[in-house]
Amino acid sequence: MRTLCVYCSSSDRLDPKYFAAAAQLGGEMVERGWGLVYGGGKTGLMGTLARAMKERGGHVVGVIPAFMKERELAFEGADELVSVITMRERKLLMESRADGFVALPGGWGTLEEMMEIITLRQLDVVRKPCVFFNQDGFYDDLIRLFERMLADRFFKPSNMDLFRVASSVPDIFTQLEAARTGSAETKWFETK
Ligand code: AMP
C-alpha cells in the first residue's frame, strides 16, 4: 500500500464544500489503495479526512506532538498515533513515511508544511510527488507568486515542475502519477 501525506486545515469553521472535498478524498484514497499519514488531528479537514478513511476501512497514521495530544486535539481512531515532541519531528516523520504529498486548502500550518517539502524537492533531498489541490482556485494567488518568483529568477524554470496542481479530487491522483520524481536540477545558478 502506498501512503499519502495530506496537509490540510485544522479549522472547523470552513464552508461545507471544503469538508465535502476532504471526505471525498478519504473515500477515493481507500478505493485506490492509498493509506494516510497526516498531522493526527481530529478537527477541521484533518479530522474529516481521517474519519472518512476509517469509515471505509482505510489505514490512518497520525503523527502528533505531545502538547497537542494533551489538549485532546488527536484523532484517537487512527490505526497508529505516533507521539512526538516537536512540530519539526512531526514533519520529518510524516515525510519519511509518505510516498507523495498533497496540500488541501489550509492556513499557515498547511502552507508551511508544503513549502518545506517543495524546498526539500528543490534541494533534491526529497524526490516524491507534491500536489496542491486548488479547490475553487484557492491556491491561485500563491501560484501567481511562484510565477513572479520565476520571472524574477529566484529559481529556475524547471523548479516549477517540482509541484503539480489538481483541479478536482480525482485529478489529485492523476497529478500524483504524472509528477516528475527524478532528481531536481541543481538550485544554484552558479557556484562561484
Ligand atoms: P492550519 O493549516 O494552520 O490549520 O494547520 C494545519 C496543519 O498544521 C496540519 O497539516 C497539521 O500538521 C498542523 N496543525 C495545526 N493545527 C493542528 C491541530 N489542531 N491538530 C493537529 N495538527 C495541527
Is 192 part of a structural domain of the chain? no
In a domain, 185, yes or no: no
pLDDT score for 185: 77
Using CA atoms, how far apart are residues 23 and 21, in angstroms rounded to an integer?
5
CA-CA distance, 127 to 118, in Å (whole number)? 10
pLDDT digits (tens, 9 = 90+) for 39-98: 999 999 999 999 999 999 999 999 999 999 889 899 999 999 999 999 999 999 999 999
pLDDT of 192 > 60? The answer is no
Closest CA to 179 of 98, 112, 111: 98
Name all residues whose Cβ lies below 6 A of ligand 1. 7-11, 39-41, 43, 46, 68, 73, 106-110, 113
Give every CB contact of residue 7 below 8 A, 6+ residues apart in sequence. 38, 39, 101, 102, 103, 104, 106, 109, 110, 113, 114
Return the pLDDT at 72. Answer: 85
Torsion of CA 87, 44, 141, 157, to 10 degrees: 50
The reported pTM is: 0.95
- Give a yes or no: residue 32 inside a domain: yes
- Residue 42 Cα to ligand 1 middle (Å): 10
Please state, in angstroms and rounded to a whole number, the distance separating the CA atoms of residues 122 and 36: 24
Q: Quick one: average pLDDT of 143-166? A: 97
Q: pLDDT tens across 10-34, in order?
A: 999 999 999 999 999 999 999 999 9
Q: Name the residue range of residue 61's domain.
A: 2-179
pLDDT number for residue 190: 63
Q: Quick check: is 27 in a domain?
A: yes
Instruction: Give residue 160 CA to ligand 1 midpoint distance, Å.
Output: 26
Supply the residue whose CA is at minimum distance from atom 11 of ligand 1: 39
Residue 186 resides in a domain: no
> What is the model's pLDDT at position 191?
59
Q: How far is the CA of 114 from the centre of ligand 1 (A)?
A: 12
> Rounded to whole angstroms, how far apart are CA atoms 36 and 30?
9
169 lies in a domain? yes
Please report whether residue 49 resides in a domain: yes
What CATH code is carried by the domain that includes residue 117? 3.40.50.450
34 phi and psi, to 5 degrees?
-100, 135
* pLDDT more than 90, % of the chain: 91
Distance 106 CA to ligand 1 centre (A): 8
Question: Measured in angstroms, how far is the CA atom of residue 127 from the centroid of ligand 1?
Answer: 24
Residue nearest to ligand 1 atom 13, measured at CA: 109
Q: What DSSP character marks residue 186?
A: P
User: Is 19 among the domain residues?
Assistant: yes
DSSP state of 74: B
In this prediction, residue 188 carries a pLDDT of 67
Number of separate domains in the chain: 1
